[in-house]
């Protein structure tokens, strides 16, 4: 586990110690994120402890969506997943989904639930009974970050969102139209920047896993990077990389072992705890081979819920340790015979496993420090390619940990080839971590269509029988939401 340094200002330390006591989660390892959904918010949020419980409810909403619907949807859309063998998520993988898709609705509903919870908190926090203003300020910033993160996610998945920045009745919400995507991101940036200003550099003890200043700045940098605002992303990434408490693990596998959760590799993780009010992570069980029998995961898994593409597997160098730590051959259903045609994710099954398959203890990383390194390499390249410059060193640090030789100027002699190398490395480093689809989308409609069309033309992906349209770069607004709010406009093509 990460060891945290003492805060420099003694008066601030005293206030933060008070804050830690008030914000304690009641669990030595990870936060107890049991949502307080049964309370009447008009009467409930009065004391600092009341607001603490409400914030945990917001974290609980993130825990819910990142444990299943979100990673399932994002991986299935990308070229990481086989379109023909991906059984449960077949409509997403084959681009046959509609506005009535349950997975899409699940992601939409989960993020909006969290936004509603954060608005309830923010509307009442100024009137709450807090022992000092620092406690209130930090909790307000934390809540605004969570809300901003949700708007950022929704904006990239669905496009412009209605800006709901306070508690509203259902009738009032139904009158709010969609803002533009740019307006949605501007709102998200303002929220996350407000959080980054006041959040502590680290969270220790019972607060381990709560968002930090560096987590907020990492997501904020991601927003700017995705929007190609490299000048704004650069100082945020530099500050994170300069912090000595965030460094890559020596071994890649440790990034996905539950005993190394919340360590120096992880900038921001969604917290999961087995045996505590159904707060375990079901993703592991949903990804691994059905009849996998090993000491690491004796219960087996759901097999081809997510079948990995040959295109991803073949993209790894044979010396790359990430390949076999991320992907393995599956088993034919009902027996122990290896099915060499089926490739499945094994990434999250390297740690200890609880008796309940869907109650795994491994966290889900939103940002790892290698993500920050590769984002910074991308920023440096976009601001001006330098042969064998710092961007090369950052990229090669990630490659070398995986056992892969360094990229040279001969491999990437200009800005365009280095850009391709960064995106290629991101695919290999973060396979199964729900980042690939956004990395495709943010390259723009023309490039994204080129990538997906080439992928779908492969024989094992249907040989061109599945067509890709740029409309798929945004998911449809769920049909049920359109019925509830007639002012919402559907995305083009749906």
Checking if the pLDDT of 3 tops 60, the result is no
60 vs 405: CA distance, rounded Å: 41
Q: How confident is the model at residue 347 (pLDDT cuts 50, 70, 90)?
A: confident
Q: How confident is the model at residue 4 (pLDDT cuts 50, 70, 90)?
A: very low
Q: What is the pLDDT of residue 15?
A: 32
Q: What is the pLDDT of residue 90?
A: 82
Q: How confident is the model at residue 361 (pLDDT cuts 50, 70, 90)?
A: confident
Q: What is the pLDDT of residue 12?
A: 29
> For residue 218, what are its two tokens?
């990492």
Please write the tens of the pLDDT for every residue from 414-424.
999 999 999 99
> For residue 110, what are its two tokens?
């989960």
363: helix, coil or strand? coil
Tell me, letter by letter, the H, E, C secondary structure of 74-103.
HHHHCCCECCCCCCCCHHHHCCCCCCCCHH
CA distances from 292 to 59, 199, 288, 362 (A): 32, 43, 7, 18
Q: What is the pLDDT of residue 158?
A: 99
330 vs 464: CA distance, rounded Å: 25
Q: How confident is the model at residue 307 (pLDDT cuts 50, 70, 90)?
A: confident
**Greatest Cα-to-Cα distance within the chain, rounded to the nearest angstrom:** 66
Q: What is the pLDDT of residue 353?
A: 59
What mean pLDDT do residues 154-165 have? 98
* Range 243-248 contact pairs with CB under 8 angstroms and sequence separation of 24 or more: 243/201, 243/214, 245/2, 245/4, 245/5, 245/201, 245/202, 246/214, 246/369, 246/372, 247/369, 248/368, 248/369, 248/370, 248/373, 248/397, 248/398, 248/401
E strand map for 236-293: 266-270
Choice among 40-44, 45-49, 60-64, 370-374 with the minimum mean pLDDT: 40-44
What mean pLDDT do residues 174-199 have? 97
Please write the tens of the pLDDT for every residue from 269-278.
998 876 666 5
Sequential DSSP letters for 34-71:
---TTS-HHHH--BHHHHHHHHHHHHHHHHHHHTTHHH
404 vs 4: CA distance, rounded Å: 32
Model pTM score = 0.88
347 vs 351: CA distance, rounded Å: 10
65 vs 270: CA distance, rounded Å: 10
Q: What is the pLDDT of residue 187?
A: 99
* Better pLDDT: 75 or 346: 75
Mean pLDDT of the chain: 85
464: helix, coil or strand? coil
Please write the tens of the pLDDT for every residue from 442-491.
999 999 999 999 999 998 898 899 999 999 999 999 999 999 888 999 99
Domains and CATH numbers, the chain: 18-277+364-484 (1.25.40.390)
The answer to whether the beta carbons of residues 401 and 429 sit under 8 Å apart is: no
Q: Among 66, 155, 147, 153, which Cα is nearest to 114's?
A: 147
> For residue 488, what are its two tokens?
């919402």
Q: What is the pLDDT of residue 286?
A: 61
Phi-psi region of 262 (alpha: psi -120 to 50; beta: other; left: phi over 0): left
Q: What is the pLDDT of residue 447?
A: 98
Checking if the pLDDT of 18 tops 60, the result is no
The answer to whether the beta carbons of residues 97 and 104 sit under 8 Å apart is: yes
What mean pLDDT do residues 250-254 have? 97
What mean pLDDT do residues 35-40 have? 43
Q: How confident is the model at residue 263 (pLDDT cuts 50, 70, 90)?
A: very high
Checking if the pLDDT of 77 tops 70, the result is yes
């Amino acid at each position: 586990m990460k060891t945290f340094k003492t805060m420099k200002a003694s008066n601030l330390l005293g206030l933060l110690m008070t804050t830690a006591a008030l914000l304690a989660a009641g669990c030595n390892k990870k936060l107890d994120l049991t949502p307080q959904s049964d309370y009447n918010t008009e009467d409930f949020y009065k004391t600092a402890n009341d607001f603490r419980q409400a914030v945990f409810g917001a974290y609980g909403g993130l825990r819910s969506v990142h444990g299943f619907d979100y990673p399932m949807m994002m991986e299935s859309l990308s070229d990481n997943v086989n379109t023909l063998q991906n059984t449960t998520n077949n409509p997403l993988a084959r681009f046959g989904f509609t506005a009535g898709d349950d997975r899409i609705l699940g992601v939409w509903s989960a993020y909006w639930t969290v936004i509603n919870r954060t608005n309830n908190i923010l509307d009442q926090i100024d009137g709450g009974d807090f022992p000092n203003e620092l406690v209130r300020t930090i909790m307000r910033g934390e809540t605004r970050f969570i809300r901003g993160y949700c708007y950022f996610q929704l904006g990239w998945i669905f496009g412009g969102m209605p800006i709901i920045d306070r508690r509203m009745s259902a009738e009032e919400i139904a009158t709010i139209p969609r803002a533009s995507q740019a307006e949605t991101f501007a709102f998200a940036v303002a929220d996350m920047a407000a959080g980054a200003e006041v959040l502590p550099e680290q969270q220790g003890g019972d607060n381990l896993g709560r968002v930090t200043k560096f987590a907020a700045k990492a997501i904020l940098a991601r927003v700017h990077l995705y929007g190609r605002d490299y000048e704004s992303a650069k100082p945020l990434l530099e500050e994170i990389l300069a912090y000595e408490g965030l460094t890559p693990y020596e071994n890649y596998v440790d990034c996905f072992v539950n005993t190394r959760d919340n360590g120096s590799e992880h900038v921001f993780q969604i917290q999961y705890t087995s045996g505590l009010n159904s707060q375990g992570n079901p993703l592991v069980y949903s990804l691994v081979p059905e009849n996998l029998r090993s000491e690491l995961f004796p219960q087996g898994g759901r097999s081809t819920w997510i079948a990995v593409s040959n295109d991803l597997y073949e993209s790894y160098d044979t010396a790359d340790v990430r390949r076999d730590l991320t992907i393995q051959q599956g088993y034919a259903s009902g027996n122990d015979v290896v099915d060499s045609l089926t490739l499945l994710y094994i990434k999250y099954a390297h740690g200890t496993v609880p008796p309940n398959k869907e109650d795994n203890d491994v966290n889900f990383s939103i940002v790892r420090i290698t993500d920050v390194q590769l984002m910074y390499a991308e920023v440096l390249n976009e601001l001006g390619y330098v042969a064998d410059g710092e961007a090369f060193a950052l990229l090669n640090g990630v490659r070398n940990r995986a056992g892969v030789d360094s990229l040279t100027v001969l491999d990437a002699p200009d800005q365009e080839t280095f850009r391709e190398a960064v995106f290629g490395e991101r695919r290999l480093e973060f396979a199964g971590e729900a980042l690939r689809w956004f990395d495709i989308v943010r390259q723009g409609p023309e490039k994204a269509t080129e990538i997906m069309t080439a992928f779908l033309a492969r024989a094992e992906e249907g040989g061109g029988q599945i067509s890709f349209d740029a409309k798929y770069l945004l998911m449809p607004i769920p049909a049920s939401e359109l019925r509830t709010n007639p002012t919402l406009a559907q995305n083009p093509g749906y």
